[in-house]
Amino acid sequence: MDPYKKLASVFESRMAGHASTAVTGVPAELATMTAGGLKLDSFKHEIKDYLVADWETKLKVPAFEMTGTVTGLKDGGGGNVSGTGTFAFAETEIEGVGLLFKDGLKPGDRVLAVPVAGGSEAVVLCKVVR
């Protein structure tokens, strides 16, 4: 056998062992949102009282332009002004932006969840898609 292949094989098996040890105890699993709660793939009963991760972040918006309609403006004589125009927005960062993740979950959505409290509750971390 090629000694380099053997060395690579040893490294691969050792790294696989380290990787599995690193995630041991993190019981995240796939689940499905239902009309009345959450159904973990490994648990036959629906969990009605589940938790959802609350995500807050800083939003960075790059500079951009958008064309749209202008209404509701007044000219110097108090008359209405309307029409189309291009609006330019400067780059900005907005602190404390909340993601309303829970509001977007619908029955049938696949999610990643972590069972807690001995499996009687679960925390939904995110929606997963293919």
The per-residue pLDDT for range 67-112, each reduced to its tens digit, is: 999 888 888 888 888 889 899 999 999 999 988 888 899 999 999 9
User: According to the model, what pLDDT value does residue 42 have?
Assistant: 86
Least confident segment among 19-23, 45-49, 125-129: 19-23
Query: In this structure, are 90 and 66 located in the same domain?
Result: yes
In-domain check, residue 13: no
Which helix (DSSP H) or strand (DSSP E) does residue 116 occupy? strand 110-116
Domain around 111 = 26-54+101-130
Helix (H, G, I), strand (E, B) or coil at 124: strand
Burial class of residue 112 (count of CB atoms within 10 Å of its CB; 0-12, 13-18, 19+)? middle
Number of domains in the chain: 2
In a domain, 41, yes or no: yes
pLDDT one-digit tens code per residue, 36-70: 999 999 888 899 989 999 888 999 999 999 999 98
What is the chain's Cα-based Rg?
A: 26
